[in-house]
Each structure stands twice: as structure tokens, then as C-alpha cells.
Amino acid sequence: MQYQNKSLGKAFDIIESLCEVPQTATELARGLGLNQTTLHRFLVTLLESGIVEKLPTNKYRMSYKFIDLGKMAENHYDLVGDSRPFLEALAKESGESVLISTFHNFSVSYLSKVESSQTVRIVLGPGDRVPSYTVASGKLFLAHLNESLLETYLRTVQLEKKTNNTITEKQPLLDELALIRKQGYAIDNQEYLIGLKGMAAPIYDSSGTVVAALSVAGVEMRLDPEKTEATINQLVNYAKKISYTLGWSD
């Protein structure tokens, strides 16, 4: 028999949502589908525990205590180190550059990269941050945001044209995100840089949360439709393998 603590589950939903961006109680309630009374009860407990704090703006955010707990837990895992063999294998199979990225403050941050063996290579690498709506990994992260956070993102971001292929309108971007959720991977076709084509698949942790993206990026002229399809299959396969090392089970 399986037992499920629904209250604990709701508390983790609140924590997960606040990890994305500070929010008011109204924003939290709307995004999580909770009534204000229920949400208030959870927030009081989280405030008393010290892992959530309330700002003068009436927004709630995760506290430094929570960050410290995360750092201690992080010592048990090494996403970059554990995933490195998979990045190297995928780079060898695909012949293109492979990257791991995470998502902070609505921006993509690249953590690790294995270069392509090709003479002409991509320019993105560890430490670079790019607009999420312009690259495959960013669109993948956006596709997995809850509705409230996605609305917040669309209200605050300026969809600027980087190339002629950049999506600069809200509805086409929403349509693209819906397609990504359906097919389980994202593609960008020279939307950030002319000549750069990328693909990204989600990396899940043990809770089924998307915690990172595995990407393949290369020169557009090398990635014809047949090569793109083959590379996507390889990409999705390796993203699952990395997810398994983090305790995920599909």
C-alpha cells in the first residue's frame, strides 16, 4: 500500500515555486491553485521554520537557511562531474558540441561543455548566460514553468529580435512551448545566432523535476533534417541516462 502526505506535497509545491522567483501570497495561490486560507497556513509554518522569509514588498522568498541546506545536500551530488562521461559519449556520437545548463532568474546558465571535434565550432560555453526564449535549453525550461511563473516571465521579458528567426511575439512563443511539452525536447533554429542550431532535452531529479538541460549545438549547415532527427534520438537517450543517475525513474 502506498501512502501519500498531501500536506507535505503542497508544502514542497510552495517551496518549488518560490525557488523560481519571489512571489506574493496572491501570486502563489493563483499559480498553485490553493485558496488563501490554506496557503496562509503553510506560509506561517514555513516562516516559523526559517526556510522562507517575507520581504517588505509582501513577497515571499526562500531564505539563506534554505540555501545553506541546499549547499549541504549538493555535496552528495555532482551534476557536472557525474554527467561528464555522458557528455563525452554524446559528443563523440553526434560529432557536435554538448552542454549542460541550468535555469536561474529566468536565464540559461551553461555549466559544462564538451567541444565538437569539427573545425567549425559553437561559441557558447560555461559561464555564458543567454535569453531563454532564443535557445533550445531556455525554451525547454520555460516550457516546464508553472503557469504563474510563465506569466511573470512574459510580463517582464522584452522579446528582442536576435536574428530573423527569433520568436518575438507572445502567442507564437506559447505555441512553441506547448509543442516542446508534447514532444519532450526543444529545438532552436538560428534564433540566437545565425549559423547556430541547437537541441535540448530535460534532465530530471528523483522527484521528476526538471533540474537541468542537456543540449547539442552545432553549425546549421551540418544539421540537415536526417542528422537532426538522429541527434535528437541520441540526445533524449543520454538525458534519460543522466536523469537515472539523479534518482529519476520514468
Residues 187-199 have pLDDT tens digits of 999 999 888 899 9
Q: Is pTM, for the whole model, over 0.75?
A: no
Task: Write down all domains in the chain, each with its CATH number in brackets.
Answer: 6-74 (1.10.10.10), 77-246 (3.30.450.40)
Give the N- to C-terminal CA distance of the chain in Å, as an integer: 20
Tell me the CA distances in angstroms from 115 to 95, 98, 128, 148, one per residue in order: 9, 7, 15, 37
DSSP string, 121-139: -----TT-EEEGGGSHHHH
**Cα separation, 139 vs 11, whole angstroms:** 27
pLDDT, residue 1, reads 35
Q: Is 168 exposed, middle or buried (0-12, 13-18, 19+ CB in 10 A)?
A: middle
CA angle 38-39-41, nearest 5°? 70
Q: Yes or no: say if 84 and 112 are a contact pair by the CB < 8 Å rule.
A: yes
Q: Is the dihedral of CA 235, 240, 243, 244 positive or negative?
A: negative
- Which carries the bigger pLDDT value, residue 82 or residue 171? 171
Residues 212-241 have pLDDT tens digits of 999 999 888 888 889 999 999 999 999 999
Residues 44-92 have pLDDT tens digits of 999 998 889 999 999 999 988 887 777 656 545 578 888 999 999 999 9
* Mean pLDDT (whole number) for 32-36: 90
Please say if the pLDDT value at position 115 is more than 90: no
Q: Is 44 exposed, middle or buried (0-12, 13-18, 19+ CB in 10 A)?
A: exposed
**Cα separation, 81 vs 189, whole angstroms:** 29
Output the average pLDDT for the chain.
87
- Which carries the bigger pLDDT value, residue 126 or residue 137? 137
Please say if the pLDDT value at position 201 is more than 90: yes
pLDDT, residue 205, reads 86
